[in-house]
Amino acid sequence: MTRARANAMLAGGVVHLGDRFLERYEQNAFYRATPNRYGDINPSYRGQWTFSGCTRVGRNLIRVPIRELYKPKPDREIVHAHRFVLDEARVAATDLGEEHIVGKVQRLVGQLLDLGDNLARLATSLGIQSDAESLVGLSRAEVEANGWHRYTQLSRLARVAPLDMTQAAFLSRCKSLHELWQRVPNGILRSMLRSAGCPAKDVKDLASGKLLQALLNIVESLDAQQESIEAFSSEDAREDWNRRNERLAALFLNNDLRVAEAHDAVGEALQTLQAMGFDTASLNQGYGRALDFVFDAVIDAFAAINQPLRKVLTS
């Protein structure tokens, strides 16, 4: 084989790594491993070297140009990467279209940004001073311009999530997920509910999940009656404003999982997980699928709030 042909093979070939290759870089502040807007991560070290062209495929694979495993880098980094190279038979048996953890966090961020915009418009219509960023702790302009660089909690939430994830790691990630979405100020939500006629004494002690549930109940009622946002304000509370809404069950599950470990109530939280449709018998293989289930359910819950709220705001 000629040198030219060998160089050509290196230039055009690719190899697949298990995404645990990234853990070394995600968990050490000396490295930079922030996902870009496409969900990909190119680990680097202070401008001295970079693994370029790393592309996420499937749930737990990284597609890397072969040249990146031979280009000048410290020997320990090359050896580290080679430990995670997968054979083509395993790659062929993998669903390369399955969503990865960064994709889930991106969808969640999209719903939270929409929620911030929608709540800000609702607040303005009610004479409540607030803005989208202060409501959800995220700026759409910042995310669109600079990705997640300002929001380190997003990168932590999107760290590698192996299928054989431990229970402790699962509960820790669920706690981080809850911390992200429960930033919506309860005081603002209470003010909105009081404007809708909900008794102050009944809303003063409600936590974020039940406040969002009450808000959803009200806007669903308005949407069903094809009312505009002008009908949100009321002297009297709407019937069933505080009813249980199954569309937000995931938010209460997420809260249960957040406190489960500290209160020795993991079993009860897992029973709730099963009641929502997850096969807990699979947990003996790891908690990765359970994390996928919780993420998808929480994302769907915020979509359930945004859909009728957006319709009422624009009708």
The per-residue pLDDT for range 124-136, each reduced to its tens digit, is 999 999 999 999 9
Q: How confident is the model at residue 11 (pLDDT cuts 50, 70, 90)?
A: low
What is the pLDDT, as a whole number, of residue 36?
A: 83
Where is pLDDT greater, at 119 or 13? Answer: 119
Query: What percentage of the chain carries pLDDT values higher than 70?
Result: 96
Question: What pLDDT was estimated at residue 28?
Answer: 94
pLDDT tens-digit series, residues 35-80: 987 778 999 999 999 999 999 999 999 999 999 988 889 999 999 9
Contacts for 108 with CB less than 8 Å, ≥ 6 apart: 177, 180, 181, 295, 298, 299, 302
Kindly report the pTM of this predicted structure.
Answer: 0.93
Predicted local confidence at residue 8, as pLDDT: 44
Residue 2: its pLDDT value, please?
46
For position 10, what pLDDT does the model report?
52
Mean pLDDT (the chain) is 93
Please write the tens of the pLDDT for every residue from 249-271.
999 999 999 988 677 788 888 89
